[in-house]
Amino acid sequence: MGEIEETIKEAIEKAEESSINSRVAIIVSLVATFMALCNIKNSSMIQSMSRAQAHSIDAWSYYQAKGTKENLEKNTIDLLKLQSQKVSDVVLKSYEDRIAKYEKEKEEIKKQAEGYEKQYDEIHEFNDQFEITEALLSISIALFGITALTQKKWLFGFAVLLSLTGVVLGTTAFFKISLLGEWVAKLLG
């Protein structure tokens, strides 16, 4: 009777191992697929962040150029006033009008540059969320590999928990729902 019990016990253990390995294989393939989709979206976001940052830098450079022109006009007025007391009011008015134009243009450019900076920050928030998603899913895949070797059910459960957390973070990032606070961005940045 002892040999029969032992044979049955071995068969049950092999069936359990096969069951865990099957679950691991299915979950790893699903997690890896989701991770690939998140990676594609994250790459797209990185490109958008780069464009927003380039536009912001261009706008601030344009803003500075307008400021330089404005200062040149102001200096020209000062020089004209110093050189001759008989400077035409029409000439002074034309310089003052250009200064006012530059001030107005600078304000518009400043708003545009700040808009690009805001766009960058908004995209960056979800970029962080995708990066944390990828980290969690990578760790869970590694843990699933160890689970397949050790057949530890508690490790399988922990790996599933990490996977689910990663999937929730990734899914909400796709829908632009932030689950990470500003503190996480500061921690990562």
Q: For residue 86, what is the DSSP state?
A: T
pLDDT for 158: 97
pLDDT at 185 over 80: no
Task: Report residue 76's pLDDT band, with 50, 70 and 90 as the boundaries.
Answer: confident
Q: What is the pTM of this model?
A: 0.72
Domain regions of the chain by residue span: 20-188
Q: Which residue has the tokens 């920050």?
A: 121
Specify the pLDDT at position 94.
86
pLDDT band with cut points at 50, 70 and 90 for residue 74: confident
CA distances to 9, 13, 17, 151 from 148, rounded to whole Å, are 20, 14, 8, 5
Q: What is the structure's pLDDT at 163? A: 97
Q: What pLDDT, on a 0 to 100 scale, did the predictor assign at position 39?
A: 94
* Average per-residue pLDDT for the chain: 87
Phi, psi of 84 (to 5 degrees): -150, 135
Higher pLDDT, 106 or 9: 106
- Report d(CA 170, CA 74) in Å as an integer: 54
For residues 65-79, give the mean pLDDT: 87
In the predicted model, is pLDDT for residue 183 greater than 90?
A: no
**Alpha helix positions (H), 84-180:** 89-150, 153-174
Q: What's the angle, vertex CA 82, arms to CA 81 and CA 85, rounded to 5?
A: 55
Better pLDDT: 95 or 18? 95
pLDDT band at 182 (very low <50, low <70, confident <90, very high): low
How many residues does the structure list for the chain?
189
CB-CB contact of 56 with 120 (8 Å):
yes
φ/ψ of residue 57, rounded to 5: -65, -45
